[in-house]
């Protein structure tokens, strides 16, 4: 199961919404959405769809849960060969959070995010 699917299912259940009720409110197909929650289909690409989902789940703008929902949805659209790398999903979530932060990052913080990605790219070139 993808982290996006797991996270969304937890939020949906926390709000007491069945899969069918959630899909009705968010105007989603229950059969396809079940596959998203199980990690068989990727998260939606549309920011509007994710925004609608956040609204159905009553996630306040700027809340940690809403930001995480958007971050995890973005991770779901990273090429699959990158995500096959152990820990890549966690690093990308941190990367997206840092990139969206209004706080200015130090050069050291930026390099700490880039270094694992560069190492992977250099390893891939040698193959």
Three-state SS across the chain?
A: CCHHHHHHHHHHHHCCCCHHHHHHHHCCCHHHHHHHHCCCCCCCCCHHHHHHHHHHCCCCCCCHHHHHHHHHHHHCCCCHHHHCCCCHHHHHHHHHHHHHCCCCCCHHHHHHHHHHHHHHHHHHHHC
CB 89 within 8 A of CB 75: yes
Summarised one tens digit per residue, pLDDT across range 75-121 is: 766 655 666 777 777 777 777 777 777 767 788 877 877 777 665 54
CATH value at residue 48: 1.10.260.40
Residue 55 lies in domain: 1-60
What is the C-alpha end-to-end distance of the chain, expressed in Å?
Answer: 30
Is residue 69 in a domain?
A: no
In a domain, 90, yes or no: yes
Would you say residue 67 lies in a domain? no
Q: Dump pLDDT digits (tens) for 18-46.
A: 999 999 999 999 999 999 999 899 999 88
Tell me: pLDDT of 123 over 50. no
Inside any domain, residue 66: no
In this structure, the answer to whether residues 56 and 82 fall within a common structural domain is no
């Amino acid at each position: 199961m993808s982290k996006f699917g797991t996270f969304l299912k937890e939020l949906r259940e926390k709000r007491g919404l069945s899969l069918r009720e959630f899909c009705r409110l968010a105007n989603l197909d229950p059969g396809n959405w079940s596959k998203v929650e199980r990690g068989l289909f990727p998260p939606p690409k549309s920011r509007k769809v994710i925004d609608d989902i956040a609204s159905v789940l009553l996630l306040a703008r700027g809340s940690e849960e809403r930001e995480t929902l958007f971050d995890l949805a973005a991770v779901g659209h990273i090429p699959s060969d990158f995500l096959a790398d152990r820990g890549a999903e966690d690093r990308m979530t941190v990367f997206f959070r840092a990139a969206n932060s209004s706080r200015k990052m130090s050069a050291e913080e930026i390099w700490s995010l880039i270094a694992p990605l560069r190492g992977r790219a250099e390893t891939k070139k040698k193959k």
